[in-house]
Structure 1
Amino acid sequence: MKVTLSFEKSESSDVSIMVDALRASSTITLALNNFEKVIPCFTPEEAFKLKEKLGGIVAGERDGKKINGFDLGNSPADIKDYTSDHLILTTSNGTRILENMKSTVLIGSIINACEVANKSIEIANNHIDVVMAGVKGEFAIEDFLAAGEILYWILQELPDCNLSEYAKAAVLASRNYESLKESFFNSRSGKRLIELGYESDVELCSLKNISNNVAIYENQELTLLKD
């Protein structure tokens, strides 16, 4: 099995794991406790049109801020207070990355790292690519660390897979949990979210393996990957 680490664009036509650690990956993962599906869209205008057509809850942010007229922002801490058949979600980075992926896409984060690693191994044929969303085209340390945590769990099942030094560095960086959490809070995105009053989101997004939910992106929808 080939296992790689990429930025923004997937190298795999088999299975990709999209990682947007602060916050889309965690919001999507936890939303599937209360929603049957998450419908990602790429502009606020598209989200409003979908809400008019389908109803449901509309959530999203730009530059970390809740979009005017939306039910809530991109907050994994707040999502537990909402329930509906579907959640319409647009975010600055994570949902944008989904648009161009040509593989089977799973959603990964710190909070479901072990489970998404195991599910990716179960469904992959020959290539798993962990894809960091970044922030507006730039590297984000929290995505690197979350990717490292996912890669660590893949290695527990596939110890002989040949990782690049880039991927190995992510695994090593993720092993010191106190340093990882500190990096989440001190990252560019973490500081921005704290300024906006979302410190609880940063804390939640840095918790390891608190969910067994794994979202799969099919037919432009995110649903729970079944056993």
Structure 2
Amino acid sequence: MVIEVAFSRLDPACRSASGQAVAAIDIIRATTTITMALHHGCAGVIPVRTLSEARAVVERLGRGTLLAGERGAERVTGFDLGNSPTEYGQERVKGKTIVLTTTNGTRTFQAVSGARAIIACSFLNVSAAARWLKGTGLNILIVCAGRHGRFCLEDVVGSGMLIDRVLDIADRPIECSDAARAARQLFLPYRDDLLGMLQGCEWGRAISQKGFGADLEICGQVDFTDVVPVMQDGYLIAKRPRDAVDYDRSQPVIYS
């Protein structure tokens, strides 16, 4: 098994996603929000790139679908939900399908659309994500959403934690690329103060100034749930680590 890390969705490593299990990470906030939504009973999350695409999908799906997204961290005017995990409680999302578009996070899923398997990982589900990835038996590519194609500290630290968890449970030799080794080394100094890291990083400071500082406390929670958002026919749906044992490795991800 090999672990590789792409430091942004524009990293050339994303072009070689075919045949691999991919974990998309956008700690602040998309993959945290997606995980929270599915933990609270959401039927599925459809990640899309643009506002117009999101509106078109909701119109096609009709009743029982929520339109969600942000630009510049703020909820888009006329949308049902933004990108704050605080908005995705059980009373709001249970049984609903959510069409979500964000500035960086949802675009990451399309960047690796040729992968054999795609999941969303955050601190909320990092140990479950590690177990799920191990269960596929596939080589692993961890893709940091970044910000407009640039390196983001929090996403790389999240990648390092995920790598650390995979190595802890490995029952076979694992080869880590230089990028994977670097991510794990960057995680280690922050492992006991993830919230401090989130509050001090560039994007964490920016969203705090916009009034979303409380989101960071959710984004910094570790192993809140064992739900793993897994891409299936264009939807991210709730799975758990044991489900990976029966994963069909012969079929690529198919987007609707």
**Length-normalised TM-score, structure 2:** 0.83
Secondary structure, aligned partner of 2:97: strand
Unaligned runs of 5+ in 2: 244-256
Query: In 1, distance between residues paired with 2:199 and 2:74?
Result: 17
Secondary structure, aligned partner of 2:149: coil
Worse-superposed segment, 180-189 or 23-32:
180-189
Question: What are the residue-to-residue correspondences of 1:66-215 with 2, within 5 Å?
Answer: 66-80=75-89, 81-83=91-93, 84-101=95-112, 102-103=114-115, 104-125=117-138, 127-158=139-170, 160-175=173-188, 176-215=190-229
Secondary structure, aligned partner of 2:78: coil
Query: In 2, distance between residues paired with 1:219 and 1:4?
Result: 25
C-alpha displacement at 1:200, in angstroms?
1.4
Secondary structure, aligned partner of 1:38: strand
Equivalent residue, structure 1, for 2:47 = 40
Work out the percentage of aligned pairs sharing the same amino acid.
28
Secondary structure, aligned partner of 2:141: strand
Q: Does 1:222 align with 2:236?
A: yes
**Length-normalised TM-score, structure 1:** 0.93
Secondary structure, aligned partner of 2:120: strand
Q: In the alignment, residue 92 of structure 1 is paired with which amino acid?
A: T
Query: In 1, distance between residues paired with 2:111 and 2:105?
Result: 11
Query: In 2, distance between residues paired with 1:82 and 1:187?
Result: 30
C-alpha displacement at 1:97, in angstroms?
1.2
Worse-superposed segment, 162-171 or 136-145:
162-171
Does the C-alpha gap of structure 1 residues 51 and 12 become closer, same or farther in structure 2, counting only changes over 3 Å?
closer
Equivalenced residue count is 226
8 Å CA contact 2:46–2:235 kept in 1: the answer is: yes
Equivalent residue, structure 1, for 2:33 = 27
Query: In 2, distance between residues paired with 1:131 and 1:100?
Result: 9
C-alpha displacement at 1:124, in angstroms?
3.1
Instruction: Say what the alpha-carbon RMSD is for the aligned residues.
Output: 1.6
C-alpha displacement at 1:46, in angstroms?
1.6
8 Å CA contact 1:21–1:146 kept in 2: the answer is: yes
Query: In 1, distance between residues paired with 2:197 and 2:108?
Result: 23
Q: In the alignment, residue 82 of structure 1 is paired with which amino acid?
A: R
Q: In the alignment, residue 120 of structure 2 is paired with which amino acid?
A: I
1:115-155: CA deviation from partner (whole Å, max 9, x where unpaired): 00110110133x11111110001000000011111000100
Query: In 2, distance between residues paired with 1:213 and 1:45?
Result: 29
